[in-house]
Each structure stands twice: as structure tokens, then as C-alpha cells.
Amino acid sequence: MDLFSVAFISAFVTGFIAASMPLLVASLGETIGEQSGVLNLGIEGVMLFGGYTGFVVTLVTGSFPLGMLAGAGAGIAVSLIFLVLSVLLGLNQIVIGLAMTLLGGGITSVLYFEHYSKSTPRLGKDEPLPIPVLSDIPVVGDSVFSQPTTFWVVLVLAVVVAWFLAKTNFGLQIKAAGQNPNSLDASGGSVVRTRSIAVMLGGFFSGLGGAYLALISTGAFTPFMTQGIGYTAIVVTMLARGRISWVIGTSMVFGLSVAIGTVIQLTDINLPTDVIKMFPFVVVITVLVIFARSAYVPPALGLPYTRGSR
């Protein structure tokens, strides 16, 4: 295929958006959780739960918004397990997180096998909501500005989260819970309550990210379809250090590396698919090596809070 043809560029942009968005949404959730001092390693499993639930709901009702909502709801529901065990009881967050990942992968794959492995249904395309003038821009207009409604909703949510973390009292409490839970406690806030809400918000976004991946990026659910996006979200979060603009930027770099891999397959360049699948992770690891000093996590990350302990 000719480089720089309209079809080529449009495939590139579509692949770029399809890869960036689920990661962006999941990273938003992980950012809120990590800022509050909760390391949710179960994000991969939560995304799978969200993706599967969203897929089933959209398949049954035919409605994409309902599917997205159901995915986000499922994300909150399974995060309750994490909330009770890790935040309330203070159990090891890494162990529980890994258990959530296994649980999400195991249950969704068993259920998919039971119900859909023979029919392997696919969802249609969500109705796009073209932005009137912009979508008429030649070459990139159609692929960028003619996106499903959910796309715009997610972008708005990203702005809301940025505002929420930076400008509200509760955003400050979340940061305090991750930076110095003792002072939050001393100033009258509740570490457990703050972290609980952060975990549920994290579940909402992870579930939504999984649903976006299944419903809009892929149009179907396949077992273990996240393939490391959840873990990548943790990297994005670490590099972004709580700044939402960085979350968006880093997710886009990742999406870009996926999209480059995808469009290379359309050209004459003969690159094995293994290289293409690996490429985003090589990019991430390179970024980590270069910015090793900037990858930063809140001091209280992963530590359960016990009043009076040092």
C-alpha cells in the first residue's frame, strides 16, 4: 500500500486512537488509586471483567452506551473485593492485586468458553458522532473527528479527573493519603475512606477502559484480550506522577507505537508479528531506562495505613 495515501493515514489514525484510548482510561483510574497510596496490580483483571460485562450487555441489548456503563459498573463491583481486602483489612496489595488479575482472567475466560466459544459473536460498530465542520477536513478529518460518542465522553472525563485531582479538596485528600497518610489523619481526614473512594473510582475507570477495548477498539471480547494494557497503565501512571496531561501524553506515545506496528503490516516492509507485538513494550522499557530517575511513586504506595505506626 502506498505510504501517505488517505486510506493509509486513516488506518494509522484509527489504530492509534483504538490503542491509546483504553490505556488512557485505565491509566486515569490507576492514577487516582496510586495517588491515594493504593497500588492496584489487579487492573488487568478488572479490565477483563469490565470488557466481558460490557460485551455481554451490548450483545444482549444492542446498546453501546449501556455496555460501557455496565463495564464501568462491573469494574466498581470487582474493585469492592480489593477495597475490602486491601484497604479495610490492610492485606498485601500486591498479593491481592495478583489474585484479582488471575480471577479476572480465569472467570471471564471460563464464562466466554461456556457461552460464546462456539458462536464467537462480534459486535457491530458504534454510531459515530461526527463533529460537523472538523470531520470534513480532508485526509484526517474523518478518522479523527468522526468518533463514537463514548470517545468524546472519555475525553471530557479525562479533563474532569485532571480538574478534580488538582483543584478540589478531595483531590488534595487523595494526594495526602498517598504522600503522608499520617498528616491526612491528623488533619481530620479519613485515610481509609479516601482510599476506598479512590479504589472505586479506579475500578470505574479500569472497567470503562476494558469495555472501551472490547466494545469500541476491538468490537468483540476474547479471553485475555488486555495483553498487558493494565500493566502498561501502571507504567504510564508512574511516569505521569499524577499529572493528567502526562497520562494523556504517555498513553498517546504507547498508542503511537502500537499504531506504527499495525500500519507497518500494511506496507511492503516484512516485519514478523512478534516484533510488532513486542514493540510497544520495548518502547516502554526504553522510556523507563531513559527516565529511570523520573519514574516516581508516592511514598505511601502499597502500604496499608495503621494509625500510629511509623
Partner 1 sequence: MAAEGGLQSPGTKTSSSRTTKVVAGFVRNVLPLALAIGTSGIFLLALGKSPAAFYGAVIQFGLLGTGWQRSIIMLAPLLLYGAGLIVAFRGKLWNLGYEGQYLLGGVLVVGLAPALTQSLPLALAFIILMAIGATVGGAWTFLPAVLKAKFGTNEIITTLMLSFVGIGITNMLIRGPFQNPEVTVPQTAVMPLDTMFPKILGSRIHIGIIIALVVVLILHFVLTRTSFGLRLDVYGASPKSALHVGIDVPRMIVIIFLISGALIGLAASVDMLGLWGTMRANWNPSYGAAILPFVFLARLNILASIPFLAFYAVLATGGALASQDVGLDSHFLLVVVALILVFMSIIEYIGMKRDLGQSYIPPGLRKAFASLLSRKNEGDS
Q: Which residues bind partner 1 (CB under 8 A)?
A: 41, 81, 85, 87-92, 94-96, 98-103, 105-107, 109-110, 112-114, 117, 190-193, 223, 228, 231-232, 234-235, 238, 272, 274-275, 277-278, 281-282, 284-285, 288-289, 292-293, 295, 297, 305-307
Cα–Cα distance for residue pair 135/147, rounded to 1 Å? 9
Rounded to 5°, angle at Cα 305 from 300 and 310: 75
Between 107 and 155, CB nearer to partner 1: 107
Measured CA to CA, the distance from residue 93 to residue 83 in angstroms comes to 10
Identity of the residue, 36 or 147, whose beta carbon is nearer to partner 1 in the bound complex: 36
Smallest distance from partner 1 to CB 124, Å: 26
Q: Which is nearer to partner 1, 72 or 239 (CB)?
A: 239
How far, in Å, CA of 89 to CA of 80, rounded?
A: 12
What's the closest the beta carbon of residue 117 comes to partner 1, in angstroms? Answer: 8
Which is nearer to partner 1, 54 or 230 (by Cβ)? 230
Query: In whole angstroms, how large is the CA radius of gyration of the chain?
Result: 20
How far apart are CB 111 and partner 1 at their closest, in Å?
A: 8
What is the chain's length? Answer: 310
CB of 89 to partner 1, least distance (A): 5
* Minimum distance, C-beta of residue 170 to partner 1, in the bound complex (Å): 17
Please, which residues bridge with residue 148 across strands? 128
Looking at the Cβ atoms of 124 and 187, the one nearer to partner 1 is 187
Cβ nearer to partner 1, comparing 158 with 233: 233
Give backbone dihedrals phi and psi of 32, rounded to 5 degrees, phi first: -60, -45
Contacts of 18 (CB under 8 A, 6+ apart): 216, 217, 218, 255
Q: How far apart are CA 205 and CA 299, in angstroms?
A: 23
Residue 211 corresponds to which amino acid? Answer: A
Spatial separation of the C-alpha atoms in residues 27 and 248, rounded to whole Å:
9
